[in-house]
Amino acid sequence: MTESAARAQLLQHLTETLRNLPAGSALVRLHPDLPKAAFNAGATVRFEHDLADVDETIVPARFNIAYWVSGLSPADSDRNFDLLLEAWRDSGWRTNATRDAGPRAGYADTIDGFHLALQQSVQGYLSLHGSTPRFWPGPDEGSPLPDRIDHPA
């Protein structure tokens, strides 16, 4: 898999996950209620430590990105959290969730090797994080993921 293909498929998984939330929701890097908690545009992480003494341009990498879920009330955070975990399970993805009191976290591994994480803040805001499987970097990084992903109503 190329980085471009990995980014495109990750965008598809994030969009399909968003489809399971109420209309009007979106994934955003900068949440309007949390202006000091912006996420970056994602990062390609190389695994140099896997292969000693090898040029870093030929080692495997993974792309990671995070978004806030906007357009939803923090008061409905638990319900929306459960909607996403259920949707991931219904997709046949392996899931895991914390059962502790306080902010929750849920995880999914897709059939095609992508990893998604859902986190709940202390205030009830949700964030969605995505990681690609390992790929071999090449000259084409692919398009940057958007700053905002609207609900695919």
Give the per-residue pLDDT at 49.
60
Q: What is the pLDDT of residue 73?
A: 95
Concatenating the DSSP letter of every residue in 28-61 gives ESS-TT-TT----S-EEEE-GGGSTT--GGGS-E
Phi, psi for 77 (deg, rounded to 5): -55, -45
Average pLDDT over residues 11-35: 96
Confidence (pLDDT) at 56 = 52
C-alpha 1/C-alpha 21 separation (Å) is 29
pLDDT tens string 112-153: 999 999 999 999 999 999 999 999 877 767 789 999 999 998
For residue 8, pLDDT over 70 is answered with yes
CATH number of the CATH domain containing 98 = 3.30.2030
Alpha-carbon separation of residue 153 from 5, 65, 149 (angstroms): 24, 23, 12
**Torsion angle (degrees, nearest 10) of CA 15, 74, 92, 135:** 50
Per-residue pLDDT reduced to its tens digit, 52-105: 555 555 678 899 999 999 999 999 999 999 999 999 999 999 999 987 777 999
3-state secondary structure of 117: strand
Helix ranges (DSSP H) in the chain: 3-18, 77-90
Give the CB-side neighbour count of residue 63, counting CA atoms within 13 A: 23
Confidence band of 51 (pLDDT split at 50, 70, 90)? low
According to the model, what pLDDT value does residue 57 have? 56
Domain range for 27 is 3-150
Tally of domains in the chain: 1
- Pick the more confident residue, 60 or 27: 27
In whole angstroms, what is the distance from residue 34 CA to residue 16 CA? 24
Q: What is the pLDDT of residues 35-46, one digit of tens each?
A: 899 999 999 888
Q: How far apart are CA 22 and CA 130, in angstroms?
A: 20
